[in-house]
Amino acid sequence: MITGFLGPAGTFTEEAASQISGELRSFNSIVEVLEAVKAREVDLGVVPVENSVEGSVGVTLDIMAQEDSLKIMREIILPIRQHLLLNPGAGLADVKEIYSHYQALAQCRHYLEKLGIPSRATVSTTAAAKAVKGKPEMAAIGTSRAARIYGLVIGDQDIQDYPNNTTRFLAIGDHDHVYTGKDKTSIVFSLPEDHPGGLYDLLGDFAALKINLTKIESRPSKEGLGSYIFFLDFEGHREEDAIRNVLNNIRSKVGYVKILGSYPREGDD
């Protein structure tokens, strides 16, 4: 099993991908990871899709909506612990700039405001750790693994603003998971036209069959202002009768629908 992930090594995505046995292969972007899955250069691709503080990762959702060959095989939910990384022998008083990925900076906004030290965005938390190595006037926000890789020390730990900060990752393959009995299904759809009650009518089918919705989100369809597609997660597997029925019902009401995958619910093992 070869699993591609959004790298480089030392990121939270690598930590999530390491929960899957086999070889890990790093890529520079979410697009590259999912292209590698399509080309069958890797068996799975692990990418972030949602953070409890910063919300959804748009590029992941957009690609999943567009590519028919990509299916969700697994979700991985990871607690996010951000640390202030310093050069050995340096103290906080030495630091003039703090580097990290823009999402990490946003997740530590209150902490950074209290410090009053200017921050700079990098392409990843690991890139930040690499950039500050050997420069005592610079610090990074990142993982404990990044600190070990680049010979840094943790000057302050768990500096994220919210203690329950978590990120949801998806393991993407060319097929979804078999039925387990504790599953979740994800779909994306669009309404054929904008009219009162259209979305309400569709969601009522789930309520009538007592199917629990776990997430609903809209994204621009890229076809013009006011045009949206909707992402929906709900409990159950597409092979179950109730899920088949609700999917058949909504197909007659939508302009477009794609099953993104059925897969085990995280934490229900």
Rounded CA gap, 161 and 80, in Å?
Answer: 11
Residue with tokens 């890229």: 222
Task: For 69, list phi and psi in degrees, rounded to 5.
Answer: -80, -10
Which of 250, 268, 267 shows the shortest CA–CA distance to 259?
250
Q: Are 126 and 142 in contact (CB under 8 A)?
A: yes
Residue with tokens 């299916």: 71
Contacts with 32 (C-beta within 8 Å, 6 or more apart), sequence order: 4
12, 169, 206, 231: the active-site residue: 169
Q: Any long-range contacts for 191-200 (C-beta under 8 Å, 24+ apart)?
A: 191/230, 191/253, 191/254, 191/255, 192/253, 192/254, 192/255, 193/255, 194/226, 198/253, 199/230
- Concerning whether 169 is annotated as a catalytic residue, the answer is yes
125, 167, 189, 206: the active-site residue: 167
Give, in degrees to the nearest 5, the angle at Cα 134 between 129 and 135. 85
User: Which residues belong to the active site?
Assistant: 167, 169
